Amino acid sequence: MSDEQFDELANAAWRRATKTGSNGGNCLEVAPLSGGRVGIRDSEAPEKAPFVVRPEVWDAFIDGAKKGEFDF
C-alpha cells in the first residue's frame, strides 16, 4: 500500500449503518474514497487493512442488497 493510499484510508470518513442500533457496534464500516472507490472494514478491528472496492463492485453489491440477494 502506498503512503498516499494509507493516508487516504487513515483520514477517511468511516460510517456505520443507521440501523446498527444497540448491538454494541459490531458491524461493518464504509468510507467513500477517491475515484469512487469504497473502503470496507470491520468496526471491531479498525486497525486491520480494509477492503477497497471499485465503484462498479460497490454498486453491484448495493443493487443486490436492495433486491434481497443476501437475505436468509
Q: How far apart are CA 57 and CA 53, in angstroms?
A: 6
pLDDT bucket at 69, cuts 50 / 70 / 90: very high
Is 21 among the domain residues?
no
Is 40 among the domain residues?
yes
Is 3 among the domain residues?
yes
Q: How far apart are CA 43 and CA 29, in angstroms?
A: 6
Q: Which domain holds residue 5?
A: 1-12+27-72
Residue with cell 471499485: 54
Is 4 among the domain residues?
yes
Give the pLDDT score at 22: 63
Q: How far apart are CA 14 and CA 68, in angstroms?
A: 25
Give the pLDDT score at 64: 96
Is 22 among the domain residues?
no
Is 56 among the domain residues?
yes
**6-59, pLDDT tens digit by residue?**
899 999 999 987 766 666 667 889 999 999 999 999 988 888 999 999 999 999
Domain count of the fold of the chain:
1
